Amino acid sequence: MRISVLGVGAIGTVLATCFAQSADHEVHLHVRGERGARLMLEGLRLSGVQTADVPANRFLFSCNELEMDDHLTHGSDIVILTCKAHAVVDLLATAERFRKPDGLVMALCNGMGHHETLARAFGPPHVLAATTTHGAFSQADGSVMWAGEGQFNLGASPLGPEHHRVLPFLALLEEVGLSPVWCDDAAAMVWAKVLLNLAINPIAALAGLQNGELLQPDRLASCMMVYREVAMLAALERISIPDEAVFEQQLRQVLLATAENTCSMLQDIKAGRVTEIESLNQAVVDLAEHHGLAVPVNQILATLIRACHP
């Protein structure tokens, strides 16, 4: 099996390093820019949950700025997009070039709508929904800290790939310690993960706070206001999500477990990068408009975050 990872940031590095442990499979990394060139020369370094220093020659590489080798064309059984949410559309053609005709594609990115975007591009039988609760962040020296062990969640829509096609990949995830979980309700799986990002990221980013600082009562109440709007939208979409009491408990647990973390949205704003707000709270606003539903808290958060963009 050949696995392609498109976008080798923090989570992409965790996946690629774990996949590299299995000698029976090829691992292909698609990189770009100065960091990508460094990875092609020096390989990948991981610390935290697992410590590894994987040489560059363990991987097949392609680079956005260079001509791609023909032997990579249509050679991947699995293509995983681990890029920023706003880069998913830009990578569709690249993913198609690497994917075998019967290969599977998934986007392990923050936000809503990625599964639908991939299904339109490749057809539902070739697309999986994916989320992860593994936590990782890039360090100043170019290595990645695998800060928290979690799960790799996979699911398919009713028109998605048959379960037997996914079994070899699930076995690989189990073999390399990424703790796969198969979910029969892909939409509920994605919304459950996105709910936390919707409630945490924009508020922490605008206030310049670490996650644990949102546990203060008035700040936590603001997070729950985001949830209540999204819960109304989920009911209209007929998507099952945790009820308010369960979600508040989950939110508190996540904020405690990641108390010293700076969320990715705040990191992006500090670095002068475009955030993922369009696939998060703005996506809630856009979907709500189709139902004639007002979601003013999400609208204000999305507007203010965009005002912080370069």
For 26-56, give the DSSP string: EEEEEE-HHHHHHHHHH-EEEEESS-EEE-G
Whether the predicted pLDDT of 210 surpasses 80: yes
Q: pLDDT value at position 139?
A: 87
**pLDDT tens profile 124-159:** 999 999 999 888 888 888 899 998 888 999 998 889
Banded pLDDT at 97 (limits 50, 70, 90): very high
Q: Which CATH architecture has domain 2-184?
A: 3-Layer(aba) Sandwich (3.40)
Q: Which CATH architecture has domain 188-307?
A: Orthogonal Bundle (1.10)
Q: Is 121 within 8 Å of 96 (Cβ atoms)?
A: yes
Average pLDDT over residues 228-253: 96
Q: pLDDT value at position 161?
A: 94
Banded pLDDT at 259 (limits 50, 70, 90): confident
Q: Is 253 within 8 Å of 178 (Cβ atoms)?
A: no
Average pLDDT over residues 282-304: 97
Model confidence pTM above 0.95: no
Percent of all residues in the chain with a pLDDT value above 70, rounded to a whole number:
100
Q: pLDDT value at position 137?
A: 84
Select from 86, 98, 91 the least CA-distant residue to 60.
98
Average pLDDT over residues 32-42: 93
Structure tokens of 308?
């912080």
**pLDDT tens profile 263-272:** 889 989 998 9
Parse the chain into domains and list their residue ranges.
2-184, 188-307
> With the C-alpha atoms ordered 206, 210, 215, 217, is the resulting torsion angle positive or negative?
negative
Strand order of the β-sheet with 44-48 is 52-54, 44-48, 144-148, 135-138
Which region holds residue 57: left if phi is over 0, alpha if psi is between -120 and 50, else beta? alpha
Whether the predicted pLDDT of 165 surpasses 90: yes
Q: What residues pair up with 155 in beta bridges, in sequence order?
A: 129, 183
Q: What residues pair up with 48 in beta bridges, in sequence order?
A: 146
Whether the predicted pLDDT of 288 surpasses 90: yes
Average pLDDT over the chain reads 94
| Phi, psi dihedrals of residue 294, rounded to the nearest 5° | -90, 130
Q: pLDDT value at position 262?
A: 86
Whether the predicted pLDDT of 310 surpasses 80: no
Instruction: Output the CA angle 170-69-93, nearest 5 degrees.
Output: 65
Average pLDDT over residues 175-204: 94
Average pLDDT over residues 165-170: 95
Banded pLDDT at 217 (limits 50, 70, 90): very high
Percent of all residues in the chain with a pLDDT value above 90, rounded to a whole number:
84
- Compute the distance between CA of residue 229 and CA of residue 280 in angstroms, rounded to an integer: 13
Residue 231 CA: distances (Å) to CA of 155, 177, 236, 251, 291: 21, 33, 9, 15, 13
